[in-house]
Amino acid sequence: MALDQQRDALQIDQVIIVEGEVSIDDYSGGFKLSAKNVWSIDEWRSRLAKAVVLEITEEQMQHGLLEQLSQQLQNYKNGTCPLVIEYVRADYRAQLPLGKDWRVQPSDALLDVIEALVGEERVKVVYS
C-alpha cells in the first residue's frame, strides 16, 4: 500500500496529497480510501508548478533586494521550476524570467525565505 511505502517520510501535521480510490466499506457502511500514491506538498508542488513569480517594486530594487535575494536563493537553486521577477513601477510592469541557473525547487522552505524578503502577497506559484 502507498501509505506503508511512504510511512518513514510522513510527519505529524504535514500536508500530504493522496491519489487513490474511494469505495464503500462493507463492514462499517462508510467510505474507505485505498491510496495508490502519496506525496508531500513539496513533492506535489514540484511536479505541478510551472513557475515561481516574485513581484518586486521599484522601491525594493533601490534598497538592494536583488542582492539579498541572490544570497538567500543559493541553497535553493538547481531545481526544475523557473523563477520569474515581475518588476512593478507606477507606470509599467514587466516579467523577467531568470535563466536556467536560477531554477528552484518550490518547497515551503524556499517560499518562506522569499516571502520574508518581498512579502507574502508578492509571491505566487503558477500552476498553469
For 88-115, the pLDDT digits (tens) are: 998 999 999 999 999 999 999 999 999 9
Q: Nearest Cα to 77, choosing from 42, 48, 102?
A: 102
Please say if the pLDDT value at position 5 is more than 60. Answer: yes
d(CA 84, CA 65): 14
pLDDT, position 95: 95
Three cell numbers written together for 7: 510511512
**Single pTM value for the model:** 0.76
At 86 the pLDDT is: 96
Which pLDDT tens digit goes with each residue over 6-52?
A: 666 677 888 888 889 999 988 898 999 888 888 888 888 888 999 99
Check residue 88 and give its pLDDT: 93
C-alpha–C-alpha distance, residues 93 and 90, integer Å:
8
